[in-house]
Amino acid sequence: MPASKLKVVVTRRLPEPVETRMAELFDTQLATDDTPMDHEALVAAMQSCDVLVPTVTDRIDSRVLSRAGERLKLIAQFGAGVDNVDVATATQRGITVTNTPGVLTEDTADITMALMLAVPRRIVEGVKIVETDGFAGWSPTWMMGRRLGGKRLGIVGMGRIGQAVARRARAFGLQIHYHNRRRVSAAIEQELEATYWESLDQMLSRMDIVSINCPHTPATYHLLSQRRLKLMKPSAFLVNTARGEVIDEAALARMLQAGELAGAGLDVFEHEPAINPRLKKLANVVLLPHMGSATLESRIEMGEKVIINIKTFADGHKPPDRVIPAML
Amino acid code (one letter) for 149: G
- Three-state helix/strand/coil letters over the chain: CCHHHCEEEECCCCCHHHHHHHHHHCEEECCCCCCCCCHHHHHHHHHHCCEEECCCCCCECHHHHCCCCCCCCEEECCCCCCCCECHHHHHHCCCEEECCCCCCHHHHHHHHHHHHHHCCCCHHHHHHHHHCCCCCCCCCCCCCCCCCCCCEEEEECCCHHHHHHHHHHHHCCCEEEEECCCCCCHHHHHHHCEEECCCHHHHHCCCCEEEECCCCCCCCCCCECHHHHCCCCCCCEEEECCCHHHECHHHHHHHHHCCCCCEEEECCCCECCECCHHHHCCCCEEECCCCCCCCHHHHHHHHHHHHHHHHHHHCCCCCCCECCCCCC
Catalytic residue among 106, 189, 191, 272: 272
290 is catalytic: yes
Catalytic residue among 270, 290, 299, 301: 290
Catalytic residue among 243, 245, 249, 299: 243
Asked whether 6 and 26 are in contact (CB, 8 A), the reply is: yes
63 is catalytic: no
Asked whether 69 and 43 are in contact (CB, 8 A), the reply is: no
Enumerate the active-site residues.
243, 272, 290
